[in-house]
Amino acid sequence: MTKKIYTKEEWIKALAGLKSSYNIFVPVKDGDFHTFKALDETKIPDFNFQNTRLSPKSLIYPQSERIFEYNLDKDAPDANIIKESEKDYSPRAIVGIRPCDAHAFQIVKPNFDNPEYQDPWWIQRYESTTFVGLGCNDPGSTCFCTSVGGGPFSEKGLDALLYDLGDTFLVKALTDKGETFLNQAQGGKEADETALKAGEDLAAKAADKIEQKVSIDRLKGKVQTELFDAPFWDEVAFACINCGICTYLCPTCWCFDIQDEVLEKQGDRIRNWDSCMFPLFTLHGSGHNPRAKKVQRVRQRFMHKLKYYVDKYNNGVQCSGCGRCVRNCPANIDIREVCKMMNGYRDNVEC
Amino acid sequence: MLEYVEKIKETAGKLFKEGKVDVFIGYKKGSVPMMNQPVLISNADQVDLLYWDSNCGLNLCNYLTKRTDRIGIVANGCNSRNIVTHITENQISRDQLYIVGIPCKGMIDHRAVQRAVKQKEILAIEEHGESFTVKGKDFEDTFNKNDYLQRNCSVCTHRNPVIFDEMIAPPVEEQDGVDAYKDVKQIEEMDPEKKWDFFTRMIDKCIRCYACRNACPLCYCPTCFVDESKPQWVGKSSDPIDTMTFHILRAYHCAGRCTDCGACERVCPVGIPIRQFTKKLNKDAQELFSWEAGLTLDQRPLLDVFRPDDYNDFIR
């Protein structure tokens, strides 16, 4: 596999050159924080960031996506016939995605792409995307990727990985997709042993910097109903204001709602992100709401991530340890603490 | 304001021992810097959890709505005004509450501090009276607290509680000579197109997480208008018009009720200055009706009274 070294200026130039073959998304400073945006003449990629405020999940799974459309004009030949909306699945690349966020797509994959169900839109967008990661030299204090199967230089879900060596980027292709991407990138030179060694050292040092250790080893052995009835949920939920920050910022929250929107004779069927924090999420047509109370909704979020997912997919927890919810929850509800409570619940009791 | 902590613990402990409250609502120290957590304690053994500093930005009145027990609660100026509003709007009864009044010198604007340290990660914050120090991996900076107050706190003229059963400390001096509506006046001067453009750009990062609504103690409707489905008033996609509808309608629901506690702005994950909507209505309430929300239990809220002898012609 290709291993190249670029000065930072060369790398940005190479990305500009790749625009003819790929729609390229890069981290861009937008006010107080960074966001992934499509690279064009007006955008300056900025790889000097800890992580983007919003995860890049919307690039594969948009917050609102028109999936079908229909014409309500009775006289039209296609009246009331539902048709798939036009989509753009041309090649795209997310450059500078952090390993936790790339890992997150692997975590959600079993939901969108499994033998029983295949979500055509998620899959096609995912498959048309090349993921070029950027290793974390300095993970944040709320990062706990190493506890949940990732790492600051984890290659999970990545097609290529960038190492920030100061003035230069070392970039390694990891898959055929990554190889194709790098082969089309202009400039750079083949990485020598010194650069490769520097990359390895950087990765080893970064992993040591993660002080957070969140134990998840006992979650699988717990009895679902016992965790469900655990006495700590009221305490966990008290401060929660039931907003959608945790779920919308989370790279692994995947729930959606489907809505029809009609303007005159034009109808659109739209898939929108939804949040288990909202009472509307579970409101039945009958008016009954099985999760009418805040504590039930808060419990659902943590049980889904740390127990139901664990049991259903045998693929670890539904969390990549990015720490966004920890940093941005306005009520300071901290998944690391909740995980500790769940993982340690009734440890001394024989099940 | 750290000096209040011991006094709050002592007062809460006393209330439990005297059997005056069933629960006590305050803040505990958060797990990340500049982020304290609302906490409910139910016995005297838990009082050591209680904490207070300049990072108590969520409005505790949120946690009172429709409770049926006897509650002790800490309240600074704006929170106490929301308690008044809650009582007059029948969301809680005065008899249920034991209000521990906190003279407040304002909350720290965590975003402004992050900006000041160029978005480097802050690992710890220490307050020393009028100043505070933030520490990170390779930096340490001390700031004057008054330069980093939340924007609502820097123009606050009700720092002392307006309703309380006991005060934790003597009242602090109120700020005078503040021009609370300088920014609103600038917007008022814009022509309609410019205003529309201003507000459109202001909310263009909104992700419809509803944190502003949910952090607001005024937003206690059993079903918010954006969540109604029969009829559905607002689209649920990220269409900018729906987002604007949400923000403007929500602001109008707060007219004559908003105490400018700043919780909406503090919690916004994308940093939208949401108070620009509510402040205009606060200004109108003040200029047209000499009304400031939540100052007294003796008056009905501004927009729920009709008087046949109202001096305005249009209303008769």
Which residues form the domain of A15? Answer: 3-209
Q: What is the pLDDT of residue A252?
A: 98
Q: What is the pLDDT of residue B276?
A: 97
Q: Which two tokens stand for residue B297?
A: 């239990």
Please report which confidence band the pLDDT of residue A223 belongs to, taking 50, 70 and 90 as the band edges.
very high
Q: How much is the average pLDDT of A183-201? A: 95
The answer to whether the Cβ–Cβ distance between B31 and A337 falls below 8 Å is yes
- On whether both A175 and A29 belong to a single domain, the answer is yes
**What DSSP line would sit under B276-295, residue for residue?**
HHHHHHHHHHHHHH---TTS
Helices (H), chain B: 4-17, 77-88, 110-116, 151-154, 182-188, 192-202, 211-215, 240-253, 263-267, 275-289
Q: Which residues of B touch A239 (CB under 8 A)?
A: 37-39, 58
Q: How many domains does chain A have?
A: 2
Question: In this prediction, what percent of chain A has a pLDDT beyond 70?
Answer: 99
A54 contacts chain B (CB < 8 A): yes
Q: What does the alpha-carbon distance between residue A276 and residue A281 come to, in Å, rounded to a whole number?
A: 6
The answer to whether the Cβ–Cβ distance between B267 and A50 falls below 8 Å is no
Q: How many domains does chain B have?
A: 1
Q: What is the pLDDT of residue B238?
A: 85
Chain A residue with the nearest C-alpha to that of B204: A30
- On whether both A162 and A96 belong to a single domain, the answer is yes
Alpha-carbon distance B176 to nearest alpha carbon in chain A (angstroms): 30
Q: What does the alpha-carbon distance between residue B232 and residue A209 come to, in Å, rounded to a whole number?
A: 50
The answer to whether the Cβ–Cβ distance between A332 and B35 falls below 8 Å is yes
- On whether both A130 and A228 belong to a single domain, the answer is no
Size of interface A-B (CB pairs under 8 A): 107
Q: What does the alpha-carbon distance between residue A100 and residue A111 come to, in Å, rounded to a whole number?
A: 18
Evaluate if residue A350 carries a pLDDT over 60. no
For the stretch A116-168, pLDDT in tens is 999 999 999 999 999 999 999 999 999 999 999 999 999 999 999 999 999 99
Domain annotation covers residue A218? no
Selecting from B32, B36, B62 the residue whose C-beta is nearest the C-beta of A327 gives B32
Q: What is the pLDDT of residue B313?
A: 79
Domain annotation covers residue B248? yes
Domain annotation covers residue B56? no
- On whether both A175 and A237 belong to a single domain, the answer is no
Domain annotation covers residue B270? yes
Domain annotation covers residue B39? no
Domain annotation covers residue A31? yes
Q: What is the pLDDT of residue A48?
A: 94
**Residues B78/B162, Cβ–Cβ less than 8 Å:** no
Q: What is the pLDDT of residue B316?
A: 66
- On whether both A43 and A150 belong to a single domain, the answer is yes
Environment class of A236 (CB within 10 Å of its CB; exposed 0-12, middle 13-18, buried 19+): buried
Residue B239 half-sphere exposure, CB side, CA atoms within 13 Å? 13
Domain annotation covers residue A235? yes
Final residue of a structural domain among A184, A209, A234: A209
- What SS3 string covers A99-157? HHHHHHHHHHHHHHECCCCECHHHHHHHHCEEEEEECCCCCCCCCCHHHCCCCCCCCCC
Domain annotation covers residue B115? no
Q: Which residues of B touch A282 (CB under 8 A)?
A: none
Alpha-carbon distance B289 to nearest alpha carbon in chain A (angstroms): 32
Domain annotation covers residue A351? no
Q: What is the mean pLDDT of each run of 10 residues along chain B (316 residues)?
A: 89 98 98 97 97 96 97 98 97 98 97 96 95 96 97 97 97 94 97 97 96 97 90 90 96 96 97 97 94 95 84 74
Domain annotation covers residue A215? no
Strand order in the sheet with B131-135: B124-128, B131-135, B140-144
For the stretch B195-216, pLDDT in tens is 999 999 999 999 999 999 999 9
| A123: Cβ contacts below 8 Å, ≥ 6 apart | A112, A113
- The rounded Cα B103 to chain-centroid distance in angstroms is 15
Q: What is the pLDDT of residue B311?
A: 77
Final residue of a structural domain among A209, A242, A273: A209
Alpha-carbon distance A234 to nearest alpha carbon in chain B (angstroms): 10
**Which contiguous run of DSSP H or E holds residue B190?**
none
A67 contacts chain B (CB < 8 A): no
Alpha-carbon distance B67 to nearest alpha carbon in chain A (angstroms): 13
**Residues A186/A14, Cβ–Cβ less than 8 Å:** yes
**Residues A347/A218, Cβ–Cβ less than 8 Å:** yes
Which residues form the domain of B212? Answer: 179-311
The answer to whether the Cβ–Cβ distance between A328 and B269 falls below 8 Å is yes
**What DSSP line would sit under A161-195, residue for residue?**
EEEE-SSEEEEEE-SHHHHHHHHH--S-EE--HHH
- On whether both A169 and A235 belong to a single domain, the answer is no
- Average pLDDT of chain A to the nearest whole number: 96
Final residue of a structural domain among A167, A186, A209: A209
Domain annotation covers residue A20? yes
Alpha-carbon distance A344 to nearest alpha carbon in chain B (angstroms): 19
- On whether both A182 and A75 belong to a single domain, the answer is yes
A142 contacts chain B (CB < 8 A): yes
Q: Which residues pair with A260 in a beta bridge?
A: A269
The answer to whether the Cβ–Cβ distance between A334 and B236 falls below 8 Å is no
Q: What is the pLDDT of residue A215?
A: 96
Domain annotation covers residue A135? yes
Evaluate if residue A35 carries a pLDDT over 70. yes
Q: What is the pLDDT of residue A349?
A: 63
Domain annotation covers residue B94? no
Q: Which amino acid is at A12?
A: I
Q: What is the pLDDT of residue A218?
A: 96
